[in-house]
Structure 1
Amino acid sequence: MVFFGQIYGQSLKSPNGNLEMEFSLSQAGEPTYLLNFKQQNVIKSSKLGFQIKNDSISLKDAFVVVDTKESSFDQSWVPVWGEVNSIRNHYNELLVKLKQQGTQREINIRFRLFDDGLGFRYEFPEQDHLIYFVIAEELTEFAMTGDHTAFWLPGDYDTQEYNYTKSKLSEIRGKMDSAITPISSQTPFSPTGVQTSLMLTTREGLYINLHEAALINYSTMHLNLDDKTMVFQSWLTPDANGDKGHVQAPFNTPWRTVIVSDDARDILDSKITLNLNEPSKIENTDWIKPMKYIGVWWELITGKSSWAYTNDFPSIQLGKTDYSSAKPNGTHGANTAHVKSYIDFAAEHGFDGVLVEGWNQGWEDWYGNSKDYVFDFVSSYPDFDVKEIQEYAKQKGVEMIMHHETSGSIRNYERHMDAAYQFMKDHGYNSVKSGYVGDILPRGEYHYSQWVVNHYQYALEKAAEYEIMINAHEAVRPTGISRTYPNLIANESARGTEYQAFGGSKANHVTVLPFTRLIGGPMDYTPGIFEMDISKLNPNNNSHVNSTIANQLALYLTMYSPLQMAADLPENYMRFPEAFQFIKDVAIDWDESIYLEAEPGEYVTVARKAKGTSDWFIGNVNGYDSRKTSLKLDFLEPGETYTARIYEDAKDAHYKENPQAINIRSVQVKKNSKLKLRSAPGGGFAISIIKN
């Protein structure tokens, strides 16, 4: 089967027939694809291939089709944790085997078409003509059919912690400068470069999401827009030498994904990203458990307390600096007595764990100094008794959560990793929050380059050896790898709640994140803030949390994660005990999830059934415009009566002017019931529905 010098095409349909993908080979031997949804073009003819470094003949044309193979797959699998108790993996597949005339190099392209979208990847088989090579650029295109509306982040090699900008594609260039706000480590690369997961809407009413899945041993993909032709091209993150990827065949790239529907709820409900990853490589997963936690964190973020123990030293050298003679600064949050009070609070209110940041030596000069040996992850400050805390937490039935801030020093973390993980196991810590704030060391590397992506994977797999769960902050955005390594229980990898204390986030930020960041996996968003005026915690911080209390409660449903934090200070929860009850009651692992309403940037409403129970919980987050909604409860069991506890914005609630105004009421409901609710600007509602 050889085609060269003539146009060749082969189509593939999704199982339900709504999606059709066509692969073509042009007269020049260029591989291309296009995608239609319900006979409407979604992706115009788009080129595929690679530019190889120091190679005059790259992998982009002069190909012939050697063979094709079609197949189908339909199988369900059970996640260790998740939004549902079973996930169907159903697709039709086309494998195209190509050979390049002249070089005899071989490359395969594998397409999988699901009912809700397309995944495709490049595969380099073992061969004599292409073994080791360096990628100068991946040439994958996503040709848009018009000037769509996009919810985008600036393309950046080092951060995802920007506010989202909503604009037409043609407006990205003009809005880029204002979209790039100051962050601890940032490297934007183009006036039209954006990040995945990219959410798009069309004039014709389609919803399109562009992302990647199974990012393993490869550079993170961004998208660079030609705003004259409206064609996105993949843009890989370079390493310190400017190379986009070092490859040894046989090798498979990550999957490139296009999720599409005429119903926004289908984007949120898609499991394509997970399904394109391999099944779990951890045989015994009994130790991987969803958690609800509190912690010594928000007081640090707001500036009420400090990570550092002392102000005596201009710099720290671990193993040489003598902390025993240092004067405590009086603001250090991670001291034994204070942490015990958090443990008491967790035990009293039914929380699984307590996170403590700032417990270990080195915080006095940890940031901004390009410092290699910054932490050793085992040496505690004089006022934090690791053993005493361990015994106290165990007595109270509370699990301690470790914190490893690397300050971007990858080599140092790997140097200490085995000892750090063993220290955790010796002291009863089964999960760790890791951080990568600041520029990466070795110097010149970026947070999303191939080498650093491999570090995150190394840390994850090493943690699995020690039966440790990972919650990685400032790491690469997730691409469904939590299916293969379910000990990756959460990531941050976007602009989280901490930015509410750094000047605030847009009030509709949380109505965009489910369509973008959460496409790849759960986020440790750290919700549950009840005191919105940060100056009441720290007079020197005038930030404001742009959210109502009802919105904060709803985040436990709309920002799905098996790891959920009640992030505010205990004393603030005691001021609003009725609202706090919802955080205590809400589940974190689910048998079923139903997206009831959704529109990116406007609102998201989801109902979830708690695992192994008949209890349902509903959450709604709202954008800038107040909104009324009528919810049908037809997902409830017929013939049963439930008590619905409703936490909704009061009539005068507003994220800025009156964020703590909340109305709490209870009603009896059945399967045929309807609930009429109102969401304030930046508000929402949360509901627990318990069978009588």
Structure 2
Amino acid sequence: MKLKLFSIILVVLLCLSCNLGNDNTAQLSVKSPNGRIAVQLELDNLGLPFYKVQFDDKTVIDTSYLAFEFVNAKPIKEDLKVTSVRINSFNETWDMPWGEQRNVKNNYKFIKAQFEETSTPNRKVNIEFRVYDDGIGFRYEFPEQDGWKEALIKDEHTEFNLTEDYKTFWIPGDWDIYEHLYSTTKLSKIDAKSYIPKTNLAQSYIPENSVNTPVTMVGKDGIHLSFHEAALVDYSGMTLKVDTEDLNLKSSLVGSENKSYKVKRSLPFTTPWRTIQITDNAPDLIESNLIVNLNEPNKLGDVSWFTPMKYNGVWWEMHLGKSSWDYGMELVDGKWTDTGKAHGKHGATTENVKRFIDFSAKNNIDGVLVEGWNTGWERWIGFEDREGVFDFVSTYPDYDLDEVTRYAKEKGVQIIMHHETSAATQTYEKQQDTAYALMQKYGMHAVKSGYVGKILPKGEFHHGQYMVNQYNNAAIKAAKYQVAVNAHEPIKATGLRRTYPNIISREGLRGQEFNAWSGDGGNPPEHLPIVAFTRMLAGPIDFTPGIFNIKFDEYRKNNQVNTTLAQQLALYVVIYSPVQMAADLVEHYEANPEPLQFIRDVGVDWEKSLILNGEVGDYVTIARQERKTGNWFLGGITDENSLTLEIEFDFLEDGQSYEATIYSDGENAHWDDNPLDLKIEKQTITNTFKLNIRLAEGGGFAISLKKT
């Protein structure tokens, strides 16, 4: 990683921006580089630490206390004194090996205060705040100290005391899944437990009135806040418990049914960063780099063995019911055996995968995902004895791995491996080296992993410390075999892609497949205009766009995709991922060559990204410049309401002409009534061009801009 600009200024201030009182109180403050965000860290007269945050001189986080509760020790909450304070400035620009942009500015001021108990056992804890122009991050550090070797954290009590009843976009604080539709309510009206009767998934656990992060809020005067965490390593995922009367959020860590504590750590250690993005408009939330900047620099070095790509594959057809993951084998004496009862609907056959390879090779699509290739799918969900079901090496009889990989290499296409663990973590952990070695042998550099089902061992949850370590350790091990990981049913993204750039994407939201089989109408038109300002703030999303057969009545009459065709094209730009799936069936693309051209053309790796307009939950337009060509691509989407936008192209290069191909909603387009009404126009433009474009209900537009 090349460091383009680095400067660090150390200023030790014990009195200038710090006021240490004689009564054990303390007032410590620091401002963002542009001066708009100010943080004040204080001790009250009981020695209890709290903080406040101001934005443009308005208090957005009022007196919010910081404390910890332990199983093996008394709480750390009061009786503290400040022993030292350091206030620093830091400024660098670092390169993303792949991403929404090449150059990332990392400029902040920070304050780090060391606290110590005034009475026995005189434990020490440090609190560090980093204040950026786009928000803040803060964390706790438990330094090495005599008499305290291990912390068993019962819960972390970090408060976010809000100053108004914000319009809030939220999903419940589920300990097992993020695959819920978003609600839009006042903060005071959040009722997470109202989701419980709606869940029809393999796993869901909502123990209290809390929300998962990122959770985004919009104030009456246009202030936008989004709460999340960064650098989640060897710790439990954080939900935010909601006090609907006092308008207060408090950290509530995901626990375990097997332990009295939620986090177990040996000293010294640091917690993840608690983050608040703070802007005065919606687009700046997406442009923020707060989450990745709070993570450590690249630890892997050169990762050029992974290249961002579009991919197709054996996936959507199973959700439609055209084919199945399983072959029809039986478990005989502990081994999967072909007893002659194959049902003939297996999707991952050599012949079928070759068809996808041929299509991808012809259409500038670099990868083919193959799900259902390995034995065990007949008994992978709904059974308690899932340990040992999959082995991640043995293929079904109708899938020739040698021939498929040979053929793919001949065609210049990569095979993307699939590992469905069925949440049987011990089986996967034991076999990872063997599975990754197999991938390395065949030159496969990307794996999609899945964790559907209740976690084994019983009593653990997808978002607790046990599983945080499972996800992270799997990716770290994969890097040793030059394998990049796209995790489904994952732990939330927290910017670790900076530290481990082989963590390329993940699910972690209600995805496209819900449109095929959810039974509740699928994802409504407002879903993705909310996702862009909530889940996408955490990191890349493997949403699997590009469905052309919107209604798919020949497979499922009561389900459909609730967008127009134009919006499906726009999602390749709007919803960011370095791996983007052309998710529909080959025959549906071959029947629609004109819109397919946009998928052929659109990039996946970006020099820069600009958010041209947007409002949370309503609409958004994003422009991205491709790294290797300098060409630009635009995507815009809206909710159930139509609107007309004026797009200015002043971001284009001076003196350069571009061939614009505009894919927009037709005059009669509508997400339900007429989703396939698509208009395609071409014209030559420069950076003085302005475009008025209409987005239909549930619609969108996509534009490719190629240099002439």
Report the TM-score, using the length of structure 2 for normalisation: 0.95
Cα distance in structure 2, aligned partners of 1:375 and 1:180: 30
Cα distance in structure 2, aligned partners of 1:20 and 1:391: 59
Q: 2:192–2:211: 8 Å Cα contact kept in structure 1? A: no
Q: Which residue of 2 aligns with 1:618?
A: 634
Cα distance in structure 2, aligned partners of 1:552 and 1:4: 63
For 1:517-666, list aligned pairs within 5 A.
Answer: 517-536=535-554, 538-539=555-556, 542-666=558-682
Helix, strand or coil: the match of 1:339?
A: helix
- Pairwise CA distance, 1:326: 2.4
> Which amino acid in the other structure matches residue 450 of structure 2?
G
For 1:268-417, list aligned pairs within 5 A.
Answer: 268-310=286-328, 313=330, 316=331, 320-323=335-338, 325-370=339-384, 371-417=386-432
| Residue in structure 2 matching 1:75, options 89, 92, 112 | 92
| Paired positions, count | 684
Quick check: 1:185 aligned with 2:203? yes
- Pairwise CA distance, 1:428: 2.5
Cα distance in structure 2, aligned partners of 1:349 and 1:174: 44
Q: Which residue of 2 aligns with 1:424?
A: 439
For 1:97-176, list aligned pairs within 5 A.
Answer: 97-102=114-119, 103-173=121-191, 176=194
- Pairwise CA distance, 1:45: 1.1
Instruction: Provide Cα deviations, 1:180-202, integer angstroms capped at 9, x if missing partner.
Output: 43221111111x21000000011
Q: Which residue of 1 aligns with 2:8?
A: none
> Which amino acid in the other structure matches residue 167 of structure 1?
T
Cα distance in structure 2, aligned partners of 1:614 and 1:295: 28
- Pairwise CA distance, 1:174: 8.1
C-alpha RMSD of matched pairs (Å): 1.4
Cα distance in structure 2, aligned partners of 1:436 and 1:129: 40
For residues 44 and 349 of structure 1, do their structure 2 counterparts lie closer, same or farther at Cα, with a shift above 3 Å needed?
same
For 1:650-689, list aligned pairs within 5 A.
Answer: 650-689=666-705
Q: Which runs of 5+ in 1 are unaligned?
A: none
Helix, strand or coil: the match of 2:595?
A: helix
| Residue in structure 1 matching 2:471, options 452, 456, 472 | 456
Instruction: Provide Cα deviations, 1:479-535, integer angstroms capped at 9, x if missing partner.
Output: 000000111111111111111112311211111112111112101110000111133
Q: Which residue of 2 aligns with 1:252?
A: 270
Cα distance in structure 1, aligned partners of 2:635 and 2:537: 18
- Pairwise CA distance, 1:3: 5.3
Q: 1:165–1:179: 8 Å Cα contact kept in structure 2? A: no
Q: Which residue of 2 aligns with 1:194?
A: 211
Cα distance in structure 1, aligned partners of 2:511 and 2:683: 34
Instruction: Provide Cα deviations, 1:419-454, integer angstroms capped at 9, x if missing partner.
Output: 111111122321100000010001110001101100
For residues 317 and 201 of structure 1, do their structure 2 counterparts lie closer, same or farther at Cα, with a shift above 3 Å needed?
farther
> Which amino acid in the other structure matches residue 538 of structure 2?
G
Instruction: Provide Cα deviations, 1:27-81, integer angstroms capped at 9, x if missing partner.
Output: 11111011111111111110112011143x3111111011100000000000010
For residues 585 and 130 of structure 1, do their structure 2 counterparts lie closer, same or farther at Cα, with a shift above 3 Å needed?
same
For residues 152 and 174 of structure 1, do their structure 2 counterparts lie closer, same or farther at Cα, with a shift above 3 Å needed?
closer
Cα distance in structure 2, aligned partners of 1:180 and 1:519: 26
For 1:487-498, list aligned pairs within 5 A.
Answer: 487-498=502-513
> Which amino acid in the other structure matches residue 371 of structure 2?
E
Q: 2:192–2:210: 8 Å Cα contact kept in structure 1? A: no
Q: 1:268–1:595: 8 Å Cα contact kept in structure 2? A: yes
Cα distance in structure 2, aligned partners of 1:130 and 1:568: 56
Cα distance in structure 2, aligned partners of 1:509 and 1:60: 40
Cα distance in structure 2, aligned partners of 1:642 and 1:92: 41
Cα distance in structure 1, aligned partners of 2:243 and 2:584: 44
Cα distance in structure 2, aligned partners of 1:174 and 1:193: 6
Cα distance in structure 2, aligned partners of 1:481 and 1:449: 17
Worse-matched range after superposition: 325-334 or 524-533: 325-334
Q: Which residue of 1 aligns with 2:255?
A: 238
> Which amino acid in the other structure matches residue 498 of structure 1?
E
Helix, strand or coil: the match of 1:414?
A: helix
Q: Which residue of 2 aligns with 1:26?
A: 44
> Which amino acid in the other structure matches residue 516 of structure 2?
A
Q: Which residue of 1 aligns with 2:279?
A: 261
Cα distance in structure 1, aligned partners of 2:284 and 2:197: 28
Quick check: 1:205 aligned with 2:219? no
> Which amino acid in the other structure matches residue 558 of structure 1?
V
Q: Which runs of 5+ in 2 are unaligned?
A: 1-13, 15-19
> Which amino acid in the other structure matches residue 354 of structure 1?
V
Q: 1:29–1:63: 8 Å Cα contact kept in structure 2? A: yes
Helix, strand or coil: the match of 1:234?
A: strand
Cα distance in structure 2, aligned partners of 1:366 and 1:3: 62
Instruction: Provide Cα deviations, 1:241-262, integer angstroms capped at 9, x if missing partner.
Output: 2421002110000000000111
Cα distance in structure 2, aligned partners of 1:77 and 1:133: 35
Cα distance in structure 1, aligned partners of 2:526 and 2:683: 29
Cα distance in structure 2, aligned partners of 1:326 and 1:89: 61
Instruction: Provide Cα deviations, 1:119-176, integer angstroms capped at 9, x if missing partner.
Output: 0000011001432121111000011111111100011100000000000111112883
Cα distance in structure 1, aligned partners of 2:654 and 2:618: 32
Worse-matched range after superposition: 555-564 or 609-618: 609-618
The percent of aligned pairs where both chains have the same amino acid is 43
Cα distance in structure 2, aligned partners of 1:608 and 1:19: 28
Q: Which residue of 2 aligns with 1:466?
A: 481
- Pairwise CA distance, 1:656: 1.2
Q: 1:318–1:374: 8 Å Cα contact kept in structure 2? A: no
Instruction: Provide Cα deviations, 1:332-351, integer angstroms capped at 9, x if missing partner.
Output: 00111111111111111121
Instruction: Provide Cα deviations, 1:186-238, integer angstroms capped at 9, x if missing partner.
Output: 11111x21000000011121100000000000000000011111110001000
- Pairwise CA distance, 1:640: 1.9
- Pairwise CA distance, 1:464: 0.4
Cα distance in structure 1, aligned partners of 2:568 and 2:202: 26
- Pairwise CA distance, 1:559: 0.4
Q: 1:549–1:659: 8 Å Cα contact kept in structure 2? A: yes
Cα distance in structure 1, aligned partners of 2:167 and 2:573: 26
- Pairwise CA distance, 1:263: 1.3
| Residue in structure 1 matching 2:499, options 467, 472, 484 | 484
Q: 1:509–1:601: 8 Å Cα contact kept in structure 2? A: yes
Helix, strand or coil: the match of 1:483?
A: coil
For residues 375 and 393 of structure 1, do their structure 2 counterparts lie closer, same or farther at Cα, with a shift above 3 Å needed?
same
Cα distance in structure 2, aligned partners of 1:99 and 1:186: 40
Q: Which residue of 1 aligns with 2:103?
A: 86
